[in-house]
Amino acid sequence: MMQLKSIVATFRANPHAHGVLLLLPAIQYGRNYFASVAAVLFTMTLWNTRLRPLVLPTGVALVAASLSLIWNAVQLPDVPYLPREIRLAVGLTLLFWALAGTPRHAVARFDGRWALALLVSLALFATAQWLAGKRGIALYVPQKFFVNSEDWSLAASWVEHAREHGYDWSVRPSAGFSEPSYLGGVSLVLHFVCLHTLTRRQRTVATVLALAVCVVAQTYYGLASNLLVFASFHMRRLPKLLVLSASMAVLCLFALPLFAAESSRLERILSGSDTSTSLRAFQPVELIGYVLAHAPFGVPLTAASSFFLRNDLIAPFVDAPFQNGLLNLLFSYGWFGFGILVLLWRVAGGGSCALFVFLLMAQNGAPLDFDKIAMIVFTVQIVRHARVTRAGNMSGRPPVLAQPRLSSYRVNPVL
C-alpha cells in the first residue's frame, strides 16, 4: 500500500512528464493521423512548453520549403500534396521553437525510475514475443489499432499473410510497436533519459536493458544508436568509455545470432544486401548526390516517389529511399537542408543532445510527424534540466536553465 501511495505521489509531482511515459507505448495507435495518441502527446508537449520563436531558423525553414515547392512547380512534372508539405514545414518550425523554449511543467520533479520501469516492461514484452514466436504463437498487436493500419510492414500483417498462404512465419519482436526499429527508437528515448536522471547503478541497468531489447528485436539501428548515446555520455571518461563500449559491442555481436529471426541477416547487412539497412543508409547516400545536382532546392517529400521512379532510380513497388528522416531533410530541401541540420544541431544544444535528436530522426522516414516532435522535445527538456542541475550542484550555485544562443553561434557549455 505504501509503495502504491509512493507511485501516485511521484506521478502527481509531474503528471505531464509521467503521463507522457505512460502513453509512450501506445504512441502509434489511433483512428487516423490527427485522432491518435501521437497527436495527443504532440498537443501535450506544446501546451507544456514555452515556445521561443527564432528568426533565423524560422526564415531558413520557410525559405527552404518555399523554394522546394517553387522549383518543383517550375522544373519538375511531379505534383506534391500541398497540405502535407505545409504541415511538414510548420512541424519543422515548431520543432525549432520548442527546442529553443523552456518547459512549463515541473521538470525538476521528474522521476527517472518511471523511464526505467517502462524499459523493463518493453524488455519483458519483447522477450515474451520472441519465446512465443519460437512456439508458433503470435503475440503482436492487431494492425487495426495502428494509425497506419494498411501498412504491409506491420508485424501482425506479416503473420496474417503467412497464415493465409499456409507457410511458416518468422517475425522479429517489436513489443507493441509497428516494427523493431521503432522499438529501438523508443528504447533510445528511455535510455537517454535514464542516463541523465538516475544513479550510476540504475544507469548501468538501463543500458543493459536497452541493449538487450535491441538484441532481442534484432534492430541494428537501435543497437548502434544506444551504443552511441552511451559513448557520448561517458565521453569525458575516455579509458572507461573504450573498455565499456568495446565490451558491450562484442557481447551484443555474440548474442545477436541467438535471437536472429533470419540466420543470414548479419551477413546480408555486412554485404550491403539487407533491405532495411539499405533503405536507411546505403540507398539514400547513393541518391543524395543525384538530387543535389538535379534538384538543388530539393524535391518535396510527397512528390519524391514519382521523381525517383520517373528517373529510374528505384524500382516500382519497392520502398523509396525515405527511411532515414535525417537524410530526408536533404532530399526535401536540397542544399538548404545542410543549413537546417546545422541550425538543428545548434538549437538542440550540440553534444549528446544534438546527437540524440539526429539519431531519433534517422529512425524512419518521418522526422517531422507528431510522434517524433513530441519524443524529441520531451526528452531534450528532461535531459537539459538534469545536466544543468548536475552542473549547478558541482559548482555550488543554484541551477539556471540556459537556452541555446544562436546569435553568437556558440553552444552553451552546460548543454
Nearest to 186 by CA among 219, 156, 153, 155: 219
Burial (0-12, 13-18, 19+ Cβ within 10 Å), 352: buried
Q: How do the domains of the chain map onto residue ranges?
A: 113-269
Residue labelled with grid coordinates 517531422:
368
CA distance 175 to 123: 8
> Any idea of the CA torsion for 207, 213, 215, 217, to the nearest 10 degrees?
-160
Quick: pLDDT tens for 35-88. Answer: 999 999 999 999 999 999 999 999 999 999 999 999 888 887 878 889 999 999
CA distance 388 to 300: 39
pLDDT band for 409, please (50, 70, 90 cuts): very low
Quick: pLDDT tens for 119-142. Answer: 999 999 999 988 887 887 778 888
Q: Supply the DSSP symbol for 143.
A: G
The predicted pLDDT at position 27 comes to 94
Span 330-350, mean pLDDT?
A: 93
CA distance 388 to 41: 25
